Amino acid sequence: MTNWTFFNGAWHDGNPMIMGPMTHAPWLGSCVFDGARAFEGVAPDLDLHCRRLVNSARAFGLNVLYSAGEIEEMARQGIAKFPSGTSLYVKPMYWAEDGWVDVDPDTTQFSVTVFESPLPEPSGLSVTCSPFRRPSYEYAPTDAKAACHYPNSARALREARARGFENAVLLDPLGNVAELATANIFYARGGEVHTPVPNGTFLDGITRQRVIALLRRTGVPVHERTLSWREFLDADEVFSTGNFAKLMPITRIETRDLQPGPLYAQARKLYWAYAHGEV
Class of residue 218 by CB neighbours under 10 A (exposed 0-12, middle 13-18, buried 19+): exposed
Domain boundaries, the chain: 3-116, 125-275
Q: What whole-number distance in Å separates Cα of residue 151 and Cα of residue 202?
A: 14
- What dihedral do alpha carbons 255, 261, 263, 265 form, nearest 10°? 120
Question: pLDDT-derived band of residue 279, with 50, 70 and 90 as boundaries?
Answer: confident
CA dist 65 to 155, 167, 175, Å? 33, 36, 39
Instruction: Give residues with Cβ within 8 angstroms of 23, minimum separation 6.
Output: 95, 97, 98
pLDDT tens, position by position, 228-260 = 999 999 999 999 999 999 999 999 999 999 999
CATH 3.40.50.720 matches 125-275: no
User: Is 12's pLDDT higher than 80?
Assistant: yes
Please give the model's pTM, rounded to 2 decimal places: 0.95
Is the pLDDT reported for residue 11 higher than 90? yes
pLDDT for 241 equals 98
* pLDDT tens digits along 179-188: 999 999 999 9
pLDDT (0 to 100) of residue 1: 65
Residue 136 has a pLDDT of: 96
Between 227 and 279, the higher pLDDT residue:
227
Residue 76 has pLDDT above 90, yes or no: yes
Architecture field, domain 3-116: 2-Layer Sandwich (3.30)
Model pLDDT, residue 39: 97
* CA torsion, ordered 157, 162, 167, 172, to nearest 10 deg: -60
Residue 57 reports pLDDT greater than 70: yes
Rounded to the nearest integer, the mean pLDDT of the chain is 97
Mean pLDDT of 15-34: 96
Task: Tell me, yes or no, if the two domains 3-116 and 125-275 fold the same way.
Answer: no
Q: What angle do CA 4, 8, 13 make, to 5 degrees?
A: 20
Query: Residue 158: is its pLDDT beyond 70?
Result: yes
pLDDT at 69: 98
Q: What is the pLDDT of residues 97-144, one digit of tens each?
A: 999 999 999 999 999 999 999 999 999 999 999 999 999 999 999 999
Interval 205-228 mean pLDDT: 98
